[in-house]
Structure 1
Amino acid sequence: MTDVTVQKQGPVGIMTLSSDKGLNIFSVELFEKMTACIDKLDADPDIRAIIITGEGKAFMAGSDVKYMLQLNIEQGMYFTHVGVQFFRKLELLRKPVIAAVNGYSMGGGTEMSMACDIRIASSKAVFCQPETGLGIIPGFNGTQRMVRLLGPGKAKELIMTAERIDAQEAYRIGLVNKVVEPEKLLDEAVAMANRIAANSPMAVAAAKLAIGRGAETDLETGIVLEEMLTRQCYDSPDRVEGMTAFVEKRKADFPPLK
């Protein structure tokens, strides 16, 4: 069994996955635990950014193949549905989510990292979508997110070959934002989360929505969405505080996200 713990460091919430064997594995129960943790962090007005990371050898080693082998079609699709719902929750969450990928990120692990807004990898991290070698495809929407991140050619290559890539290759192709040494991973993720948390939570949420939803639609629709969100920003106390603080040469004191 893989467990989930949550801790707070100022405005940053850290969700850590761990197991006795050091290889975190997805299950329906784990998805339910992670959903409860994310809901709690999302509801906490003091939390302005969230980090997901793992302990041991893996960020997330994917799903238990022995377990999946025993599933019938309905059970398999229910397991898939629960995972899809959780990853979409991460993607649509108003608060930004950073994946701090500490080790193996296999199958659903890579898919979970792609559902996060930003990915920081340990130099020891390994990424792979092994599903086609198991007679399935990346069913937690990996086929959809990878093509949007990397383009169709590279997404097809990684998914169809089931090739493993290291952190530097993941950085080169744009799968991760940054690579750091293992001992600096969490500190770097927290530092980035704090830089985000220093900005307007309302504006950060608006930017996340504009980028995320805009990438899923055509340019004209994205422009209309951006204009709508810009109007909301102009009508907010965050704009007044942020611009006043800039003029007065002081640090802005933004209210919590409502």
Structure 2
Amino acid sequence: MNDTVQLTFDGDVATLTIDRPDRLNALNEATLEGMADALDEARGEARVLVVTGAGEKAFAAGADISRMAEMSVEEAHAYCEQGHAVMNAVESFPAPVIAALNGYAFGGGCELALACDLRIASERAVIGQTEIDLGIVPGWGGTQRLVRLVGDETARRLVFFGERVDAQDALELDLVSEVVAHDELDEYVAGMAADLAEKPQFAMAAAKEAINEAHEMGQREGLDFERRLWSSLFGTPDQREGMDAFLNDRDPEFE
């Protein structure tokens, strides 16, 4: 990890903070490398991961345009591969990932939010796939994840026009699931993360994997995958504790 990314733990909740507030948390190669290292460190340790940006203005204002402007095709390909690897690692992280959108989330920042499981926005957040006005297209998964989240035509509009939408409009478009007051965002997300951290770890990882696979498989294959996954949880500490707690009318205490 490097000084552009911070990883902190509060019990079972890890927070990954992109720490380039002077550049609106733009995602250059060093930052992507730091994020990859942080995700590796948090994997297996965190029951919930929160992703956010340092400062008061930005979650992540996108890829680093000053760097991209000088790239050759070969360098652009390598940068794209690096970005995809990080977004895929967020999407496949074996625990819920919450994006705490505290400000601008443009381009690659929007794509980072899309790779998370849940998106909670400050009332000051502004979100957009803005690449078209740079003469490029989303390159870290935006054309694929955005369609699945908001539907085909809405995704086309956001990408074609490069629209920047405020938090309330993002809520109406299903880009985010909730909007909260800016000064309440950290506390609200911390409470949500704490609640999720109390859920059964094995079952939560299985639930996330099954939902992710729904985007990759046809329904028949997905139902078969779910059946096998469901059965495999029997005999785990999660299943034994959860059902024993239910039968004995007590709150479960998952490992």
- Distance between the aligned counterparts of 1:86 and 1:161, measured in 2? 26
Alignment partner, residue 20 of structure 2: 19
Write out aligned runs for 1:35-54 (5 A): 35-44=36-45, 47-54=46-53
Q: For residues 232-253 of structure 1, what are the alpha-carbon distances to aligned partners after superposition, in whole Å with 9 as ceiling and x for unaligned?
A: 1123221111111122232322
Aligned residue for 1:173?
173
Identify the residue that residue 128 of structure 2 maps to in structure 1.
Answer: 128
Q: Is the 8 A contact 1:238 1:254 kept in 2?
A: yes
Residues of 2 paired with 1:225 and 1:20: CA distance?
Answer: 43
CA shift for structure 1 position 22: 5.7
CA displacement, residues 69-125 of structure 1 (integer Å, 9 cap, x when unaligned): 110000001001000001001111111110000000010000000000000000000
Residue equivalent to 2:78? 78
- Structure 2 equivalent of residue 30 of structure 1: 31
Contact 1:2 1:25 in 2 (8 A): no
Matches within 5 A, 1:236-251: 236-251=236-251
Q: Is this contact kept in 2: 1:2–1:26, CA < 8 A?
A: no
Q: Which amino acid aligns with 1:156?
A: R
- Matched residues in 1 for 2:141 and 2:165: separation? 20
Within 5 Å, which residues of 2 pair with 1:95-244?
95-244=95-244
Give the letter aligned to residue 232 of structure 2.
Q
User: What is the CA–CA distance in structure 1 between the aligned matches of 2:3 and 2:20, rounded to whole Å?
Assistant: 5
CA distance, structure 2, for counterparts of residue 3 and residue 21 of structure 1: 11
CA shift digits 1:19-59 (9 cap, x unpaired): 25161111111111111111111132xx2100001122100
RMSD of aligned alpha carbons = 1.4
Q: Distance in 1 between matches of 2:21 and 2:51?
A: 18
Paired AA for residue 241 in structure 1: E
Compute the displacement of 1:156 (Å).
Answer: 0.1
CA deviation profile, 1:191-246 (whole Å, cap 9, x unmatched)? 11111111111111011011111122211111011101101112322111111112
* Amino-acid identity (%): 38
Question: Counterparts of 2:3 and 2:152 in 1: how far apart (Å)?
Answer: 33
Does the CA-based 8 Å contact 1:132-1:160 persist in structure 2?
Answer: yes
Q: C-alpha separation between the residues in 2 aligned to 1:94 and 1:43? A: 8
Aligned equivalents of 2:174 and 2:224: distance in 1? 28
Task: Output the amino acid matched with 1:227.
Answer: R
Give CA deviations for 1:131-155 in whole Å, capped at 9, x if unaligned.
1111111000100000000110000
Distance 2:247 2:195 in 1: 20
Q: How many Å separate the matches in 1 of 2:85 and 2:232?
A: 28
Q: Is the 8 A contact 2:242 2:252 kept in 1?
A: yes
Contact 1:2 1:17 in 2 (8 A): no
Q: What SS does the aligned partner of 2:94 have?
A: coil
Give ranges in structure 1 of 5+ residues lacking alignment: none
Report the Cα distance in structure 1 between the residues aligned to 2:191 and 2:108, rounded to whole angstroms.
Answer: 26
Give, as a single letter, the amino acid of the residue that structure 1 aligns with 2:43. Answer: D
Report what 2:11 is aligned to: 10
